[in-house]
Chain A
Amino acid sequence: MAVSFKQVTKRFADGTVALDHLDLDFELGEFVVLLGPSGSGKTTACRLLAGLEQPSSGRIEIDGKDVTNVPPRFRGIGMVFQNYALYSHKSVFENIAYPLRIRKVPAADIERSVRDVADLLRIGDYLKRKPAQLSGGQAQRVAVARALVWEPAICLMDEPLSNLDALLRLHMRTELNRLHRKLDKTFVFVTHDQEEAMTLATRIAVLKDGRLVQFDEPKTIYRKPANRFVAEFMGRPAMNTIDGMVEGGVFRAGAVACPVDRSDGPVTLGIRPEQIELAAASTPGAMTLTVDVKEAVEPDTLLIFQNSGGNAITLRTQANCDAIEAGQPVSLAFPKSALHYFDARTGQRVE
């Protein structure tokens, strides 16, 4: 089931532009994650695809068919809501069975389908309960079961894990991965959590201010961020971005000085915290910075340096840092292969 957004713009009554000429295409069986900070338009994109909102302009197509003005019930899309939106007056069984009841599926088939999907989501024991008697994780599974029971081709999930506690979120993430592998369905998942996006997506669509910034596989997004925004959004801790100047093959910004293969001029240098190396002071290209804060996040250690240029620089390493204390000078090296360059003015990636 190919889905495509064609020049979709959504302007709300109060004048906010939630989506600005969005073009996005993806294929059957993909797990697409719409990722962005709040206000980036990711939820709006999801609701437009569901049919719960109408675009101000542009078209949405499913399998080449224009569905822009098709009501939600004729789109063949299931949806999981952030607050689960279970029917509190119905039992779990009836909640899951509801889409089938509406479609007048014979009772015996309903029974079988509900049992199957409940087993798949491991909620078979709770079918007689009311939603109020479920824990957050169980309610979440019921919501997923209800969205999948009638086998829609596309399943939308609007921040489905954000109401769960951290441990449960990890667990549900794994379950969703398993589910996607098992069912040959298109999943569209909205989140602001880059880690969720990384682990779940076949492709991530990064949105900012209603525009698509980058749409790629997670590893490409991580390794080749399209601009400074994506670079700083993906990865934890975020990529270090340092504004500076290249003069005679050396990038300089405050205490940072490292050899680069670039012509002279202003540039923003990017390097991931885990790719900065602790080096001996004698290493060519090494620089010395003072440790501002040391955070032990076993098995890793985060060293945060205050650069005289302004930006803090974070280093993440698994090396033994017991000897390093805050306030102490440390020698670092930025390997050339790990460097990213962004246009100093536009923030776009430059190779």
Chain B
Amino acid sequence: MSKSWKILAFGILACVLVIALTPYVWILLTSFKGRLDILSPQPTWFFTPTFANYPAVFIDKEYLPLVFNSLIIACGSTALSIMIGAPAAYVFARTDFAGKEDLFFFFLTTRMAPPISIAVPLFLFFTTLGLTDTIYAVVIAHTTFNLSLVVWMMRGFFAEIPKEIDEAAMMDGRSKLGAFVRVIVPLAAPGLAATAVLCFIMSWNEFLYAFILVAFEGRPLTVGIPGLITPHGTLWGQVAAVAVVATLPIIVFTFLVQKHLVRGLTFGAVKG
């Protein structure tokens, strides 16, 4: 690549970076601003930081448990999606049956409708089950969209593993289920981990279903934020504080697993 192209490429990257990061930096700064600095019509870059927003929302308003709710919901729906989706994907990868491709496509269609269109039916459904305002409702709701992700991603990963590996495990003494759990799953681990990370992020960031299904008990961080819009005005400092706490772990986590994530998503060449 010539030098001028390189400069252009860096220029474009810099633009994208600025556009992507500005709101985040703004939120980060806002979380340390006092009320006056926040409402100032001039954007202020230099101000006296205050740490009051964090204890105000997490201790006084008791938002701390929401972090754990978010964690439980994301982990729960990820685990559930993987546990149901991975065996399903394995069957799609290995077995031929009538209507297989149609059924496979059906999994994708569950994601085609805008989420809002099934929000009300979902609410009625959980009301009938008596699960509204519980963490379980959100876990199940998030599983509905994560499941299709798992099935679609894992089918490819399983298909990359030669079927002779299953057969070798069966000849070595495993049952069909044993071959899947003890041999195929460990071999697909990089892909499985990458899929799990994506599921976790999807669920952690989800707002709509959680907002409709839980109001108090079991609400995650995302649902906590609208609670800071009060009749006396929006508590921007506290909103920013919650937003930072809701995003920072995911960003750090993604950076940490980035290498594995890329490897998992480009997983393949499982050579015997």
Contact = CB atoms under 8 A, between A and B. Distances in A.
B165 interface: yes
Contacts of B186: 89
Contact of B172 (A84, A88, A98, A131): A98
B271 A85 contact: no
Most-contacted residue by chain A among B174, B175, B176, B272 (CB, 10 A): B272
B168 interface: yes
B118 interface: no
27 contacts: A50-B167, A71-B175, A71-B176, A72-B167, A73-B174, A73-B175, A77-B171, A78-B171, A81-B272, A82-B164, A83-B164, A84-B272, A85-B164, A85-B272, A86-B168, A86-B272, A87-B183, A88-B271, A89-B186, A89-B189, A98-B169, A99-B172, A102-B172, A102-B173, A102-B178, A132-B271, A146-B172
Interface in A67-83: 71-73, 77-79, 81-83
A182 interface: no
A281 B207 CA distance: 99
Contacts of B175: 71, 73
B268 to A, nearest CB: 12
Contacts of B176: 71
A146 B169 CA distance: 11
A85 B174 contact: no
Given A52-B171, A87-B165, 8 more contacts: A50-B167, A50-B171, A71-B175, A81-B167, A82-B164, A88-B272, A89-B189, A102-B173
Interface of A: 13, 50-52, 71-73, 77-79, 81-89, 98-99, 102-103, 131-132, 139, 146-147, 150
Contacts of A87: 165, 168-169, 183, 187
Interface residues of B, number: 22
A89 B187 contact: yes
A82 to B, nearest CB: 8
B96 interface: yes
Contacts of A103: 173
A131 B96 contact: no
Contact of A88 (B167, B170, B174, B187): B187
Contacts of B271: 88, 131-132
B162 interface: yes
Nearest to A102: B173
A52 B174 contact: no
A87 B189 CA distance: 13
Cβ-closest 7 pairs across A and B: A85-B164, A102-B173, A85-B168, A99-B172, A79-B171, A81-B164, A72-B170
